Chains A and B, each alone.
Chain A
Amino acid sequence: KAGVTQTPRYLIKTRGQQVTLSCSPISGHRSVSWYQQTPGQGLQFLFEYFSETQRNKGNFPGRFSGRQFSNSRSEMNVSTLELGDSALYLCASSLRQGWTQYFGPGTRLLVL
């Protein structure tokens, strides 16, 4: 079974731009969570989607948004990028909410 895939793997943007990241979960997994990881900050939870509905949301500004499609694929959007948004963005999928999460390789975003 293929793992979680994330595209693109690397991205360079400038301040003020917006970016969309994509995540394809493991086949059959319906829950997708997004995390931001910066050096020394651990995994900061962004949001979780299950059956196309946002079920949980972390403490991030409204510039961070996401959605999930009927095939469970998910996208995350960050508008008006700031330098502090430079991070590794990880997507994780699970069969159901609260079950074991399987992570993708992440998208490394650099904001200049």
Chain B
Amino acid sequence: QQQVKQSPQSLIVQKGGISIINCAYENTAFDYFPWYQQFPGKGPALLIAIRPDVSEKKEGRFTISFNKSAKQFSLHIMDSQPGDSATYFCAASKTNDMRFGAGTRLTVKP
């Protein structure tokens, strides 16, 4: 049972553009929402995370927007760069349980 739905599956963005990846969750008990970035041949690395008591968190060019009532959260990458080309995973977590989205393959064209 997929508890975290991620879209789109793949995304192509021009350099300097904004990349937006969306996730939706079902279980309202989730209380921690991290995003991971994975480059080919590497394990996923924590990028940014948010808790549901805030609606937005920004770290550099990366921003998480969180909508608790809609049970949705998204990752925005501003001024996307070719070096951002990777697979991005959203996740939702509660005690004893972390669920991942299916991943989004982002390609930033120069």
Contacts and interface: CB of A to CB of B under 8 A. Distances in A.
Interface string A1-44: 00010000000000000000000000000000100000001110
A92 B100 CA distance: 13
Interface in B38-83: 41-46, 49
Nearest to B96: A97
A16 to B, nearest CB: 28
A101 B96 contact: no
A98 B34 contact: no
Interface range, B side: 20 to 34
A100 B34 contact: yes
A80 to B, nearest CB: 26
A56 interface: yes
A64 interface: no
A42 B43 contact: no
Contact of B46 (A43, A55, A102): A102
Given A42-B89, A42-B102, A42-B103, A97 B95 contact: yes
Interface in B6-40: 32, 34, 36
B109 interface: no
A45 B91 CA distance: 12
A48 B99 CA distance: 12
A27 to B, nearest CB: 17
A81 interface: no
A102 B98 CA distance: 12
A106 interface: yes
A103 interface: yes
A83 to B, nearest CB: 21
Interface in B83-110: 89, 93-103
A104 interface: yes
Interface of B: 32, 34, 36, 41-46, 49, 89, 93-103
Report, nearest first, the 3 A-B pairs whose CB atoms are least far apart: A103-B43, A42-B102, A43-B100
